[in-house]
Amino acid sequence: MFFTIINNAIVQGIPLLFGSTGEILTEKSGNLNLGIPGIMYMGGCAGIMGAYIYENSTQTPSAALCIIIPLLCSLVGSGLLALIYSFLTITLRANQNVTGLAITTFGTGFGDFFGGSLTKLMGNNGNISVKLTSDYYKTTLPFAEDLGWFGKLFFSYGFLAYVAVITAIICAWFLKRTRAGLHLRAVGENPATADAAGINVTKYKYLATTIGGMIAGLGGLYFIMDYIGGSWTNGGMGDRGWLAIAIVIFAIWRPNLAILGSFIFGGLYIAYSYTSGLGRAASAIFNMLPYVVTIIVLIITSMRNKKENQPPQSLGLPYFREER
């Protein structure tokens, strides 16, 4: 029972972890990308579209292609959306909040439209479903079953779950231990100073935002392929995108803490189903908790005003060298 809860919390937490890792990378460059929910939708939808078209185009789908095609589609889809965001906010210096919300509108619209209508557009009936691909995505390590609770806790996930954790750890290492990571943080804190030190601000911002978007998009892919099992429900991803942004604050902009944060928030997401007898009212309270906790963290970090726990200083501001 206990291990089942933790197992489910982790499964719920993986999409959040992808989203928050991507957003941390983005925010470290000074871009507050509120388009993450849209980008995650896009990542999921592009992935399922790729899988559906591939499954329908061949009699004998091969396992490798079933994995690679949706993965690439997802990366390209979310990467493109993040690139639009980067172009508008970095090159054209548009307002980040407005641009981000526009990206979310577009991404959720794109996801709901094509996710809901692709079968009709291709002249088939029924709902989109890619059971076969989903099964490949869900394949766990072969010895997971034999190891009892240990296997269930550590080895019973599809490969994307491990990718999520590893990506978060790499990001933490990258930001803290590498020169490029130092430069990236400098760009997010004070782009004018970074610029003066000879760091290519535009390049860092573009790369961080686009790669961050691609990582977040994988969250959508995991949600669709692994958690849902290869079908699409409109609005099915719920508020997970915003929750991912909440985790960024909860983890005070540190990817390694985001791992813990995602699993806690994932646990809160499903906690109500284990509190039998408390009913739906309790589920609303449990769903509210992550946001309340995030608000409290946000208030406390701003009250204590410790330098290392603050948001990147230039978060949300465009950079124009000739403006003083």
Residues that bind another protein (CB under 8 A): 32, 34, 84, 87-88, 91-95, 97-99, 101-113, 116-117, 120-121, 195, 198-202, 234, 239, 242, 245-246, 249, 279-281, 283-285, 287-288, 291-292, 294-295, 298-299, 302-303, 305, 311, 315-316, 320-323
Closest separation in Å from C-beta 313 to another protein? 11
Closest CA to 45 of 66, 84, 82, 76: 76
Q: Report yes or no: 190 and 184 within 8 Å, Cβ to Cβ.
A: no
Q: Which CB, 67 or 208, lies closer to another protein? A: 208
C-alpha pair distances (Å), 162 with each of 14, 97, 137, 157, 241:
9, 32, 12, 8, 20
Q: Which CB, 144 or 192, lies closer to another protein? A: 192
Q: Which CB, 38 or 158, lies closer to another protein? A: 38
Under 8 Å CB-to-CB from 157, ≥6 apart: which residues?
10, 11, 14, 140, 226
As given in the structure block, the two tokens for residue 217 are 């998009």
Q: Which CB, 142 or 198, lies closer to another protein? A: 198
Q: Which amino acid is at 108?
A: T
Closest separation in Å from C-beta 107 to another protein? 8
Closest separation in Å from C-beta 32 to another protein? 7
Q: Which CB, 61 or 311, lies closer to another protein? A: 311
311: phi > 0 → left, psi -120 to 50 → alpha, else beta; which? beta
Under 8 Å CB-to-CB from 237, ≥6 apart: which residues?
15, 37, 40, 41, 44, 111, 220, 223
Q: Which CB, 137 or 206, lies closer to another protein? A: 206
Q: Which CB, 140 or 301, lies closer to another protein? A: 301
Measure the N-to-C terminal CA separation of the chain; round to a whole number of Å.
Answer: 60
Closest separation in Å from C-beta 207 to another protein? 14
Closest separation in Å from C-beta 222 to another protein? 22
Closest separation in Å from C-beta 113 to another protein? 4
Spatial distance between the Cα atoms of 100 and 165, rounded to a whole number of angstroms: 26
Spatial distance between the Cα atoms of 30 and 23, rounded to a whole number of angstroms: 11
Closest separation in Å from C-beta 308 to another protein? 16
